[in-house]
Structure 1
Amino acid sequence: MAADIGEQPAGYARLLDSANAAAIARVAAVVAERRPRHVVFTARGTSDHAALYGAYLTEIRLGVPAGLASPSVVTLFGARPDLSDALVVGVSQSGGSPDLAEVLRAARSTGALTLAVTNAPDSPLADTAELSIDVAAGHERAVAATKTYTAELFALLMLVEGIRAGDGVLPAAEREALAALPDLATRTLADDTPAQLAPRYRFARQLVTTGRGYAYPTAREAALKLMETSYLPALAFSGADLLHGPLAMTDPEIPVLAVVGSGPGGRSMGEVLPRLDERRADVVVVGSADVPGATRLAVPEVDERYAPLLDILPLQRLALALALSRGEDPDAPRGLKKVTATM
């Protein structure tokens, strides 16, 4: 897991190289020409959080309605929703889960344009879709996904911005901003604060993660990483949803990891943090925002839509360090395997 985490800056750079960037641009150009009226993502596990990020990007950057499909609608109940004029995107590291392939197969039968975003370009999911993007993360050693997750984020970001450009080619300013991310990721991973923070939560019984907008997928992915590596029950809420009830359970015994950037989503967390302070919750702020008096996992400031590519890095390292401090094996969590097939 440590090796996989450390390879992420190189993975970002790999997606930006000419061949991979050109491949994503070609897919983006096809989608832009088709002008889908809405976008539906389908995914499981960690990839579901990447898909959620893709949905935020789609609605905010393209102005196109987006959502996440429930595969069981197709696989268990046999329904065939009318997805004509839609882009249906299957996101999966392995591309091996049959339910996702079945969703894309059903979508194609009703006239949708289908796309697979996967680390396995020869997978059943990629074979089923009309279009495919290889996230080019390379072999992932640990069961818990890290570098494949951020590769999916980066690929979806390049895809959406390419669609927005119309011809798939990113504007020069966008390319320049993306080109800075590998070095920023390296700098983020060099900070040893996550390892120093792990003993603080060694005996925690429960944990909460929260964020808004682009940070919400990060909060959900961090919660999953903590659950699958440390077996620590972790509940993820958007900052808004946290105030609609779950806030009542927070107290000094329940740590809260709050993902707070410097854009609109991060600023909106200004309503949440004081309420957590009233509850005397043990809060750690993750991100670029400077919150006076808070314990921080600091991340370089970037455009808020890029922040998920950096914010998750210290949280992955925290999950790794916490698992080790609790005497667990984060490379091989009990009961889990790399490819999970569901229907």
Structure 2
Amino acid sequence: MAADIAEQPAGYARLLEGAPAAAIAEVAARIAEQRPRHVVFVGRGTSDHAALYGAYLTEIRLGIPVGLASPSAITLYGARPDLAGALVVGVSQSGGSPDLTEVLKVARESGAHTLAVTNNPASTLASAAELSIDVSAGHERAVAATKTYTAELLSLLLLVEGIRGGGDGRPAADERAALAELPQLAEETLGGHGADELAQRYRFASRMVTTGRGYAYPTARETALKLMETSYLPALAFSGADLLHGPLAMTDPDVPVLAVVGSGPGGGSMADVVTRLGERRADVVTIGAHDIAGASGRLAVPEVDERYAPLLDILPLQKLALALALARGEDPDAPRGLKKVTATL
């Protein structure tokens, strides 16, 4: 897991340069020509969190309504929704889950355009789709996904900005210049400190809460999953808004809270959430570029455009999940009962 985490800056550079970037631009240009009226994302686990990020990007940057599919409606209940004219995007690091493949098959039969975003271009998911994107993360050693997750995020970012950018499917020039800084920023973020100290602080925690809004919400959900699958620590993920609608009542000094607070509207709205948590004397650690009143600590990340922040915010949290698992005497490379490819129907 440590090796996979460390490879992410190089993975960003690989996706941003040469053949991978050109392939994504070609797909983006095709989709721009198709002009879908709505988009449906489908994924499971970590890839579902990447899909949620893609949903935020699509609605905010492209102004196209987005839905997240429920695969069981099709695979268990036999539903055949009319998806004519839609773009249906399956996101899966392995591309091997039968239910995601079935969703794309049914969608294509109903007249939808289909796209697979996967780390396995020879997978059944990629074969079932009209178009496919190889996230080019390379072999991932650990069961817990790290570099494939961020490769999915960056691929979706390049896709959406390519659709928005113009006829050649490439992001606008100023966008490309900003994206080119991500590998170095990721390197700097991974070189930061704090995860090991937090792991010792939380090694005996019985539960944890993660929270964020907007682009940061997928990061909160992915962090909770990483903590659960590597440390077996019950972790509940909430959007900052949902946390205030009831779950805030369960927070207290014994329930650590990891709050992702970036720049932009999403990060700005989280300041009030952190204040409310502080009023309950919750043990709040923020993930962001600035200290926030009410927090007892911070995992530092560089300040970037809110759209790019999920590519950096998750890095110290992956390190925390790794360090916490080791501190609790667990093996984060081989979580009990889990396999790299999970096939669901």
TM bucket by the smaller chain? over 0.9
Which 5+ residue runs of structure 2 have no aligned equivalent?
none
- Return the alpha-carbon distance in structure 2 between the equivalents of residues 132 and 10 of structure 1: 22
Q: Structure 1: which 4+ aligned runs deviate by more than 4 Å?
A: none
- Return the alpha-carbon distance in structure 2 between the equivalents of residues 179 and 188 of structure 1: 15
Residue 185 (structure 1) shift: 0.2
Instruction: Tell me the residue number matched to 2:223.
Output: 222
The one of 310, 313, 316 equivalent to 2:312 is 310
Distance 1:220 1:326, change over 3 A: same
TM-score where L is the length of structure 2: 0.98
- Return the alpha-carbon distance in structure 2 between the equivalents of residues 293 and 117 of structure 1: 39
Residue 166 (structure 1) shift: 3.0
- Return the alpha-carbon distance in structure 2 between the equivalents of residues 256 and 125 of structure 1: 36
Which whole-Å deviations, capped at 9, do the CAs of 1:140-197 have from their partners, x for residues lacking one? 0000000000000000000000011132022111111010000000000001211121
Equivalences for 1:141-180 in 2 at 5 Å? 141-167=141-167, 168-180=169-181
- Return the alpha-carbon distance in structure 1 between the equivalents of residues 170 and 96 of structure 2: 30
**Is the contact made by 1:207 and 1:234 (CA closer than 8 Å) also made in structure 2?**
yes
- Return the alpha-carbon distance in structure 2 between the equivalents of residues 151 and 272 of structure 1: 30
The one of 326, 329, 332 equivalent to 2:328 is 326
Residue 289 (structure 1) shift: 3.2
Question: What is the DSSP-based 3-state SS (H/G/I as helix, E as strand, rest coil) of the residue aligned with 2:218?
Answer: helix
**Is the contact made by 1:198 and 1:325 (CA closer than 8 Å) also made in structure 2?**
yes
- Return the alpha-carbon distance in structure 1 between the equivalents of residues 198 and 160 of structure 2: 35
- Return the alpha-carbon distance in structure 1 between the equivalents of residues 72 and 154 of structure 2: 28
**Is the contact made by 1:266 and 1:289 (CA closer than 8 Å) also made in structure 2?**
no
Which whole-Å deviations, capped at 9, do the CAs of 1:60-86 have from their partners, x for residues lacking one? 000000121000011000011010110
- Return the alpha-carbon distance in structure 2 between the equivalents of residues 21 and 69 of structure 1: 27
Q: Residue 142 of structure 1 aligns to which amino acid in structure 2?
A: A
Instruction: Tell me the residue number matched to 1:104.
Output: 104
Question: What is the DSSP-based 3-state SS (H/G/I as helix, E as strand, rest coil) of the residue aligned with 2:292?
Answer: coil
TM-score where L is the length of structure 1: 0.99
Which whole-Å deviations, capped at 9, do the CAs of 1:23-65 have from their partners, x for residues lacking one? 0000000100000000000000000000000000000000000
**Is the contact made by 1:33 and 1:166 (CA closer than 8 Å) also made in structure 2?**
no
Instruction: Tell me the residue number matched to 2:257.
Output: 256
State percent identity of aligned pairs: 79
Question: What is the DSSP-based 3-state SS (H/G/I as helix, E as strand, rest coil) of the residue aligned with 2:214?
Answer: coil
Instruction: Tell me the residue number matched to 2:193.
Output: 192
Task: Say if 2:93 is the partner of 1:93.
Answer: yes
- Count of residues paired in the alignment: 343
Which whole-Å deviations, capped at 9, do the CAs of 1:115-150 have from their partners, x for residues lacking one? 000000000000000000000000000000000000
Q: Residue 121 of structure 1 aligns to which amino acid in structure 2?
A: P
Q: Residue 321 of structure 1 aligns to which amino acid in structure 2?
A: A
Question: What is the DSSP-based 3-state SS (H/G/I as helix, E as strand, rest coil) of the residue aligned with 1:214?
Answer: helix
Instruction: Tell me the residue number matched to 1:78.
Output: 78
Question: What is the DSSP-based 3-state SS (H/G/I as helix, E as strand, rest coil) of the residue aligned with 1:227?
Answer: helix
Which whole-Å deviations, capped at 9, do the CAs of 1:2-33 have from their partners, x for residues lacking one? 00000000000000112111100000001000
- Return the alpha-carbon distance in structure 1 between the equivalents of residues 170 and 216 of structure 2: 26
- Return the alpha-carbon distance in structure 1 between the equivalents of residues 290 and 216 of structure 2: 12
Instruction: Tell me the residue number matched to 1:281.
Output: 282
**Is the contact made by 2:47 and 2:93 (CA closer than 8 Å) also made in structure 1?**
yes
Residue 290 (structure 1) shift: 2.7
Equivalences for 1:229-268 in 2 at 5 Å? 229-268=230-269
- Return the alpha-carbon distance in structure 2 between the equivalents of residues 291 and 11 of structure 1: 31
Instruction: Tell me the residue number matched to 1:117.
Output: 117
The one of 298, 303, 307 equivalent to 2:300 is 298
User: What is the RMSD computed on CA atoms of the aligned residues?
Assistant: 0.7
Q: Residue 239 of structure 2 aligns to which amino acid in structure 1?
A: S
Q: Residue 88 of structure 1 aligns to which amino acid in structure 2?
A: V
**Is the contact made by 2:213 and 2:240 (CA closer than 8 Å) also made in structure 1?**
yes
**Is the contact made by 1:227 and 1:234 (CA closer than 8 Å) also made in structure 2?**
yes
Which whole-Å deviations, capped at 9, do the CAs of 1:69-105 have from their partners, x for residues lacking one? 0000110000110101100000000000000000000
- Return the alpha-carbon distance in structure 2 between the equivalents of residues 342 and 78 of structure 1: 15
Residue 274 (structure 1) shift: 1.2
Q: Residue 219 of structure 2 aligns to which amino acid in structure 1?
A: T
**Is the contact made by 1:262 and 1:289 (CA closer than 8 Å) also made in structure 2?**
no
- Return the alpha-carbon distance in structure 2 between the equivalents of residues 286 and 11 of structure 1: 22
- Return the alpha-carbon distance in structure 2 between the equivalents of residues 137 and 274 of structure 1: 38
- Return the alpha-carbon distance in structure 2 between the equivalents of residues 39 and 120 of structure 1: 22
Residue 243 (structure 1) shift: 0.3
Question: What is the DSSP-based 3-state SS (H/G/I as helix, E as strand, rest coil) of the residue aligned with 1:163?
Answer: helix
Which whole-Å deviations, capped at 9, do the CAs of 1:274-309 have from their partners, x for residues lacking one? 110111000000112331463000100000000000
- Return the alpha-carbon distance in structure 1 between the equivalents of residues 312 and 293 of structure 2: 21
- Return the alpha-carbon distance in structure 2 between the equivalents of residues 293 and 164 of structure 1: 38
- Return the alpha-carbon distance in structure 2 between the equivalents of residues 51 and 236 of structure 1: 16
